[in-house]
Structure formats: structure tokens, C-alpha cells
Amino acid sequence: MTEGLRAEHVSVRYGSRTVLDDLSVGPFPRGQVSALLGPNGSGKSTLLRAIAGLGADGGHATVMLNGDDLSRMPPARRTQRCLYLPQALPAMVHLQVLESLLAAQHALTTLPPARDEDDAVDAALRMLDVFGIANLAMQYMDELSGGQRQLVGLAQALGRNPDALLLDEPLSALDLHHQFAVMDILRRETARRNIVTVMVLHDLNIAIRMTDYDVILRDGRIIAAGAPTDVITPATLRTTYDITARVETCSRGLPHIMVDGLG
């Protein structure tokens, strides 16, 4: 049995344009946080959606999670195992944060659950607490800031207890403090639950310091994959981003990417 998340023969076309052509990627390891890197339009989000089974029509991929073939599961069952979190923030609706978590939890149920929802409420509250926003439970979504809604979205996703979590730019609306806080939380929860977490990231310094396995893409092709310090190098940065950059070691011994210029 293969551990982790692996996608093979991923092909996605938008109309006549081929975005991904027979790409194979992984395995993304369990218990660790992985990142998809690359410039705009390199196919990161498309790849993530294809792994989740939400890709455009005509998309095709074989996805194996801990030895199970996800691509043969019915979509609802598949989202229970492997959950994708879109980049768009949860909409500003007139729902309390707590209710939105309960709704995400019940998204696959048809009948209204029993009236006693105390357990579900407790679980939702614990999940909000994981992301440090338990105090927002009774607030309405249309009163929150973008960053707060992003945290709610993360809590909704993790609250479904998936075996694999696919996050499309989960830090995009967060300030510096919360970017690091969320990375910490995700690393801790990923390890504690021994799940696979893959995220699309733009910040290379966060990637090199706070992820364990990176894949760097350009034009729908994989340029490099492996440990962050092996993947993020002056050579790959030049190939993918057309920049001249160095990976320096800071005074505390941590890697840091310095960009010297274009080309």
C-alpha cells in the first residue's frame, strides 16, 4: 500500500487549450505539509482541482490516496476523503459563523438532523478554536473581514475531517501574523491527524521554511519536486520565474530567498 497522495496521468483541457498534459505528481507525504509553487498560469490551481476531481470537463486523472483509488469514488464520497478548499472566500451571507460550519458539516445530508445539535455545535466550536476564532462563533459572516472569512473557510474544511486537504492559496487574505499562525496550525493539525495537506503558495520564503515537500511548476510541467531546499534553488527560480535570486542563510541559520533582479 502506498502512503500519501499521488496523482497520475493528469490531463486537463479548457476548450482547445491543453493546460495539463499527462502530468504525474507525488506522492505528497502524510503528516506533512506540501506546497505547489510556480508563476501565475502555471497550472497549480488546475492541478489541485484535478486531484480533487473538480477539474474542468474533459479532465482526467488517476488519484491514489493511501492506496485507495479516489478517481473511482462517487463525488460525494470522494470529498469526504479528500477536500478541496477554493481560493474564493466564503460569501458574505447572513449566516452565523457557527451555522456556516454546521452547514459545511451537513452538506451531504438530506434530512434535517435531530433537533439536539449540541455535539455538532461543540465540534464546530473546537474547530474554530483551533484557528483561534472561537470568539467569532455567534457573529454573522456578512460582518467579518476577508481574513476572518478565510479562517472560517479553513475551519469549515478541517471540520469535515478529511484524509487529504487541498488548499488553494489559503493565506491570500491574511496579514503577516496570521499567515505564520495559519501555517503553524496547519503543520500541527496535519501531523496530529496524520493527513496529507497540499497547498498552492506564492510566498517562497514561507514555502522554504514551513513546508516539507514542494513541487514547482511552469507552463503545466513540473520543473522540480522534493524537499524545499532542493526545489527552491537559484537555478529553478531562474527557470520558472525568470528572476535572478539567491537562497541565503540568515543569522539564525534559516534559509531566505533574496531576489536580485529580473532575468
Residue ranges that bind other proteins, judged by CB under 8 A:
52, 54, 57, 75-76, 78-80, 83-86, 88, 90-96, 98-100, 103-104, 106-112, 115, 117-119, 121-123, 125-127, 129-130, 134-135, 137-138, 140-142, 153, 156, 159-161, 163, 188, 192-195
- Which CB, 78 or 218, lies closer to other proteins? 78
Nearer to other proteins, 131 or 213 (CB): 131
Name the phi and psi angles at 248, rounded to 5.
-95, 160
Q: Which DSSP letter does residue 140 get?
A: B
**Which lies closer to other proteins via its Cβ, residue 168 or residue 214?**
168
Residue among 162 and 228 whose Cβ is closer to other proteins: 162
The nearest distance, CB 154 to other proteins, in angstroms, is 12
Q: Which residues pair with 218 in a beta bridge?
A: 221
44 versus 218: smaller Cβ distance to other proteins: 44
Maximum distance among all Cα pairs of the chain, rounded to whole angstroms: 62
CB atoms near residue 178 (< 10 Å): 18
Minimum CB distance to other proteins, residue 34 (Å): 18
Residue 33, C-beta contacts closer than 8 angstroms, at least 6 positions apart:
183, 186, 187, 190, 197, 199, 210, 211, 212, 213
Tell me if 21 sits within 8 A of 222, measured CB to CB.
no
Q: Write the CB contacts of 125 (distance below 8 Å, at least 6 apart in sequence).
A: 98, 134, 137
